[in-house]
């Protein structure tokens, strides 16, 4: 029974660490500015005892105390979370909901999942706020650590829904966005070579917002759409040009006009 309990606790801890690793990879992918945690290897201790041979986890590092489960779980988890803020937030108000430390009976996997879900929500919300700066998920009420995790996961879904809404009106590279070309500057007429390349991309992949291969313009050219749009991009921010049909371009203009007050 002791060995089974140790194996279960160890698996629980490893699962939690994997959740954190996944969240960190997603953050790096989205270029979220946050100092990375110090690697686990930095706390390597050659004198740390191992689980005795004959144990199902023989050879694994252990804290050497009790049955080895709680001490090892805590040590590895603290290392994996080193440098991260595990305070859970109410996304609508910005006030703290409390972090993993507020649930002392939570398992290591639950605490790790809380931090991972928090980081995932931060990344998803940041992606939306790069376009719609004042957007926040609706307020929510949660109980316990599983409730906080569920709230963070709901925030991710709401952010993804909002991002799709924006992309559907041409704000942000749309669902059909594939290739693009660098934008020389805001609002400048495309040079002949640029227009030819935009037309090629549009003929191949369609309008980046709706997917149509018909530009809808009198000249038969796709509109070179700046992304992010000129009214939204931060000063000095880089832009790229995607093919836009006339219909989506006009709808985008009206949407951006309605969003200006929100910045």
Residues 158-190 have pLDDT tens digits of: 999 999 988 888 888 999 999 999 998 766 789
Helix, strand, coil percent content, the chain, rounded in steps of 5: 50, 10, 45
pLDDT in tens, 102-148: 677 888 888 888 989 999 999 999 989 888 888 999 887 778 899 99
Determine the 3-state secondary structure of 182 from DSSP. strand
Q: How far is CA 249 from CA 90, 161, 222, 230, 256, in A?
A: 36, 21, 10, 13, 11
pTM for this entry? 0.57
- Pick 81 or 179 by higher pLDDT: 179
The distance of Cα 29 from the centroid of its chain, to the nearest Å, equals 8
Residue whose token pair is 């369609």:
206
């Amino acid at each position: 029974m002791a060995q089974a309990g140790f194996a279960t606790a160890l698996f629980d801890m490893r699962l939690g660490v994997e959740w954190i690793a996944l969240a960190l990879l997603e953050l790096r992918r989205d270029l979220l500015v946050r100092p990375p945690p110090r690697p686990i290897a930095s706390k390597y201790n050659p004198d740390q005892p191992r689980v005795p041979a004959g144990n199902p986890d023989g050879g694994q590092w252990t804290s050497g105390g009790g049955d080895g489960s709680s001490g090892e779980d805590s040590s590895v988890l603290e290392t994996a979370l080193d440098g991260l803020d595990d305070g859970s937030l109410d996304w609508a108000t910005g006030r703290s909901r409390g972090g993993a430390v507020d649930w002392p009976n939570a398992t290591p996997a639950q605490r790790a999942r809380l931090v991972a879900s928090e980081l995932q929500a931060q990344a998803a919300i940041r992606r939306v706020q790069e376009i719609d700066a004042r957007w926040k998920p609706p307020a929510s009420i949660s109980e316990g650590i599983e409730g906080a995790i569920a709230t963070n996961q709901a925030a991710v879904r709401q952010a993804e829904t909002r991002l799709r809404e924006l992309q559907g009106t041409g704000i942000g590279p749309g669902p059909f966005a594939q290739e693009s070309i660098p934008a020389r500057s805001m609002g400048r007429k495309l040079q002949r070579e640029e227009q030819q390349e935009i037309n090629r991309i549009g003929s191949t992949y369609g309008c980046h917002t709706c997917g149509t291969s018909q530009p809808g313009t009198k000249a038969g050219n796709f509109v070179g759409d700046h992304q992010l749009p000129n009214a939204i991009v931060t000063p000095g921010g880089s832009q790229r040009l995607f093919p836009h049909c006339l219909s989506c371009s006009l709808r985008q203009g009206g949407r951006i006009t309605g969003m200006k007050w929100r910045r």
